[in-house]
Structure 1
Amino acid sequence: MDMNIRPAPTLHTSPPFEGDDPRWARIVARDKSADGRFWYSVSTTGIYCRPSCPSRTANPKNVALHDTLESARATGFRPCRRCNPDGPSLECENAALIAKACRIIEESEEEPSQEELAATVDRSPSYFHRMFKTSTGLTPKAYATGHRAKKVRAGLETGTSVTEAMYDAGFNSSGRFYEKSTGMLGMTATQYRAGGANEEIKFAVGQSYLGAILVASSTDLRLATIKAIAQGTLDGLIPTRNIAATMDDEALIDRMVGIKGIGRWTVEMLLMYADGYPARR
Structure 2
Amino acid sequence: MSLDLELCWQGVVSRDASQDGAFYYGVMTTGVFCRPGCSARQPKRQNVRFYATTGEAERDGLRACLKCHPLALSAADPLTGRIRGLCDYIDRHADAALTLAALGRQIGLSTFHLQRAFRAIVGVSPKQYVDAARMKRFQALLREPKGLDVTASIFEAGYGSLSRLYEKTDRRLGMTPMEYREGGKGVEISWSASETPVGLMVVGATDRGLAFIQFGDTEAALLRALEDQYPRATIRPMGEPSAEFLEWMAGLNRYLAGHEPNLRLPVHVRATSFQLTVWKYLQRIPAGAVNSYSEVAAAIGQPKAARAVARACASNSVAIAIPCHRVIRGSGELGGYRWGLARKRTLLDTERTLTQTG
TM range (shorter): 0.3 to 0.5
Larger Rg: 1
The structure, 1 or 2, with the larger RCO (C-alpha pairs under 8 Å, 6+ apart) is 2
TM-score by length of 2: 0.37
